Amino acid sequence: MPMAFSPGLLVVAGSFAAFRLLNRGLERLVPPPPSARRNRWKWRNIWTSLAHSVLSGGGALAGFYLHPEMSKDLVGTHPPGAHSLVAVSVGYFLEDFVDMLCNQKLHQSWELLFHHSVVIICFGIAVLLHQYVGFALVALLVEINSIFLHLRQILLMANLVDTACYRLNSLVNLGTYVVFRIATLAWMTRWLFLNRQNVPPATYAVGTVGMAIMTPMNIVLFYRLLRSDFFKSRRDVRREKEE
């Protein structure tokens, strides 16, 4: 089937439109508190990102639970639902890329824009080739931690830093960061290294570059979280909320 007529591209387009509509309607569904009204677009953006994280992270876990055979062959074995989930994620990352580009200054968003570019390229290869979908699904396990990262931002914007809910979320966020983000990326890097003979050079190069970019970015973010939630002053927390 020619790439131009890949059903996966239709799913990507539909996902982009759906997340765009969700973003536009979220302010009515979840009105921003007074402390977040100065940054309404960010409030909508975080809730949209949270919706994607719940869908993709939960979907990735369910995929490996319902289809354990996929974990033995991350290249060619995958159910149709797994391919659709990766395509939906490409649509989301495209929507979020456009949303940040239109609403945030480049010096504030360049790291996330760069991150999204790498993910779109890597996931796009899986969607177009119908290969490495299992590997992309492993990457989506990272979104389980993203649920708590987004909740943290919501609590910050809602001025709920000094609450038990924020402190509990901080602990869960840190734990899931280690398990579902750092450990997952380390496992993916190891898998690429061990399977380099079975992966085409171009795909291996894209995957290696992607891991080389993602790993230091996530280590830096982990340091920032530690410093912000456990070693930072209240003034610094307030400054982070306003960014």
pLDDT, tens digit, 9 for 90 and up, residues 114-151 = 989 999 999 999 999 999 999 999 999 999 999 999 99
Q: How far apart are CA 81 and CA 87, in angstroms?
A: 10
Binned at pLDDT 50, 70 and 90, residue 235 comes out as low
pLDDT of residue 198: 83
- Of 5-14, 27-36, 65-74, 225-234, give the lowest mean pLDDT range: 225-234
| pLDDT over 90 (residue 12) | yes
In angstroms, what is the C-alpha Rg of the chain?
Answer: 18
Quote the CA–CA distance of 171 and 145 in Å, as a whole number: 11
Compute the distance between CA of residue 234 and CA of residue 150 in angstroms, rounded to an integer.
20
CA dist 111 and 107 (Å) reads 8
Q: Which residue in 13, 71, 206, 168 sits closest to 176, CA to CA?
A: 168
Give pLDDT tens digits for 71-111.
888 998 899 899 999 999 999 999 999 999 999 888 888 88
The tokens 């309607």 sit on which residue?
25
Q: Which amino acid is at 85?
A: L
What would the mean pLDDT of 22-46 be, rounded to a whole number? 92
Kindly indicate the confidence band of residue 47, based on its pLDDT and cuts at 50, 70 and 90.
very high
Angle at the Cα of 177 from the Cα atoms of 230 and 144, rounded to 5 degrees: 130
pLDDT at position 232 is 63
| Cα–Cα dist 15/10, whole Å | 8
> How many CB atoms within 10 Å of residue 205?
11
pLDDT value at residue 6: 72
pLDDT for 3 beyond 60? no
Q: pTM of the prediction?
A: 0.89
Structure token pair of residue 152: 């943290």
The confidence score (pLDDT) of residue 32 equals: 92
The 3-state DSSP class for residue 199 equals coil
Q: Are 71 and 64 in contact (CB under 8 A)?
A: yes
Cα 124 to chain center, whole Å? 15
Closest CA to 98 of 206, 7, 23: 23
Residue 140, CA distances (Å) to 43, 181, 185 in order: 23, 10, 10
Mean pLDDT (the chain) is: 89
Q: Which of 131, 145, 233, 224 is nearest to 183 (CA)?
A: 145
